Amino acid sequence: MNSAHARSQDQLHIHIECLQPLLRGVLRRSASTLDAASWGRVDVPGWRLVALRGDGEALAGANPFQLLAQRLPGAAQAMGDYSLLVAGVDLPAGPGFVILAGTGPGTELLLDSRCERG
C-alpha cells in the first residue's frame, strides 16, 4: 500500500506481486534478527524503512495498519504519510512475515510484477 503522496489516485489500493530481488535478499538476511514487538530499521539501499516481524503462515488477526499506528511513535498522527508492504519470509522457526513501513517512495517500487528471479 502506498502513502497518499505516492498514489496517482486518491484511493487506497493494495498491490499483490512478487518482491524485487534486492528486497528478497535483504529480507532473507535480516528477517531472523527483526523483532515481533517493536519496529526496527531494515537496510534496503536507497530506502528508509522500518520492519516488524510476524510468526506463522498468516497474519492471524494482525492488522498492519494498527501495528503501525500503535507501535511506531508518531505514526498514528501521520498514517497517510506511510507506505506498507507485507512479505512472507522463511524464519529459523518456520514460516513468517515481515511488515515494512516507510515515508519515502511508495513501497510499490519494491515489487516485481514480472516475478523475475534474480
- Beta-bridged to residue 84, according to DSSP, are 101
- Where do the H-state alpha helices sit in the chain? 21-30, 64-71
User: How far apart, in whole angstroms, are the C-alpha atoms of residue 96 and residue 58?
Assistant: 7
Q: pLDDT for 62-110, tens place per residue?
A: 899 999 999 999 999 998 889 899 999 988 888 999 999 998 777 888 9
Task: Report whether pLDDT(60) > 90.
Answer: no
pTM here is 0.86
Residue 60 C-alpha cell reads as: 492471524
**Cβ of 105: how many Cβ atoms within 10 Å?**
16
Please give the CATH topology (third level) of the domain spanning 4-112.
HIT family, subunit A (3.30.428)
Q: Give the pLDDT score at 53.
A: 92
Q: Which of 44, 33, 11, 23 has its CA nearest to residue 111?
A: 23
Q: Which of 56, 60, 53, 54 has its CA nearest to residue 94?
A: 56
Q: In the chain, what are the domain boundaries?
A: 4-112
Q: pLDDT for 5-38, tens place per residue?
A: 665 666 666 778 899 999 999 998 998 889 989 9
